Every structure is written in C-alpha cells, then in structure tokens.
Amino acid sequence: MAAPRVSIILPTHNRPETLVYALHSVLAQTERDFELFVVGDGCTDHTGDVVSQFAAQDDRVRWLDLPKALGYGYANRNIALRQARAPYIAYLAHDDVWTPDHLELLCSALEAHQAELVHGQVWNVSETAVIRTSYQALHLEYWRERFLARQFFTPMCTMMHTRDCLERYGYWDETLPKGGDRELWERIVRQTPRIATAGAFTSFNFVSPARRGTAATQGGSYHWEECLQ
C-alpha cells in the first residue's frame, strides 16, 4: 500500500465531546491523502466508541488505545509516530479544529520552500469565546529570536514538519510531564533554517481551563495590525 502524503497525530484523553469536532475538521480536509492516528492516552470513558464510529466510516482513521503515559502522554505520541508512514507530520489537539484547507496550504508551503518545518496562522479562542488573531513568521530571524526567547507560543494545531525531522532532531521528550510541544518546536527551530510560514489562518486554538495560566495563554497573541508594523 502506498504511503499517504500526511500522517496526522491527534492525542486525546477523556474529551469525547470536543474530539468529535476535531475529527470532523480532519475529515473535511481538501487534502484527502492522509492517515489519522487518534492516540488515546489512558482514556477511561467512551472516547473509544466515538472514534470507532468514525473509523467504521473512514478507513484512514486509526484508534490507538494506549495506557496512560507520564503527564500529557508524549510517549504515546511517539508510539504513533513510529507507525506513521507519510513524509509529512501534522498535529491536532482534541479541543482544536482546522479549516478545510489547512493541510493543503501547509503542504504547499512546505514543498514550495523545501522546508523541514512549516506553520500556519491561528485564531486563539478564549473561554468566553473572544477570538484573537495571532500572526507569526518563524522563517524570519526576528520571529525566531522572539520565539526562542519565549515571547509567544505556537500551538501544536498549526505545526507541520517532515518525517526526517524526527530522525535528525529527535522525537517528543518522554521525560517531560508538560511543555513538550514548546520543547520540540524550539529544538527544531534552533537546528534548522529550513522553516516556512503559511500566511493564511487555518486553525482555531481553544484555550481550555486546563491551560489557564500556562504558556498557551501568556503572551501568545499578537493582533494582526500590530504584527504588520
């Protein structure tokens, strides 16, 4: 069987009510050549039943029902990544969603610039449904320096990298209880100049109560107008 163009990693833990929307946004993608790993991190509710309903209708959906790993379950993401077959890797959280052209635009940017890492733009949605635009451009030195200085945060839902990145720069750090996404992006950004930016807004990052007061909500948003100055 030929490898798909994109492997999608969607980690989840006991959030079936939002996972449904994340799954719908994946299956609505205009880029159809993908495989989806829904990575259960010690789920104790009916998450498996929800995923099974999608998998019964679409054989691109795979359910990995794994025991609870440390913290946010980065070890389980690595298990899925070692089974992934595509040259490109994309990520989505169980409480975030993509626009239908997300994969198509990020793949195009990655290939056009022969990059190893690409990101799109993201709408950050607060608990009170306030939406803030966040523009970033990690292909520029100015933005990379700000990113590495932790002046803003780039959520998992807007990132894509090549499969080769994992072999060159390493997988998710399984020893960390949290903050693994920031650590992985920083590790890649420090070691490669081959970064691309897609200018379109293609993902919604919903700030959950669990993220309140973390790096995901601190200094992570810049209004579009401010970023163009």
> In the structure, what pLDDT confidence band is assigned to residue 129 with cuts at 50, 70 and 90?
confident
What 3-state class would DSSP assign to 23?
helix
Asked if pLDDT for residue 224 goes beyond 50, the answer is no
* pLDDT digits 0-9 by tens, 43-62: 999 999 999 999 999 999 99
CA dist., res. 120 & res. 39, Å (int): 23
Q: Is the four-CA dihedral 2, 113, 125, 205 of positive or negative sign?
A: positive
Answer for the pair 89, 81: CB distance below 8 angstroms, yes or no: yes
pTM as predicted = 0.90
How much of the chain, in percent, has pLDDT values that exceed 90?
Answer: 86
Instruction: List the structure tokens of 217.
Output: 């909500």
**Beta pairing partners, 107:** none
Q: Write down the pLDDT at residue 1.
A: 79
Give pLDDT tens digits for 71-96. 999 999 999 999 999 999 999 999 99
Residues 195 and 115 sit within 8 Å (Cβ to Cβ): yes
Cα separation, 224 vs 228, whole angstroms: 7
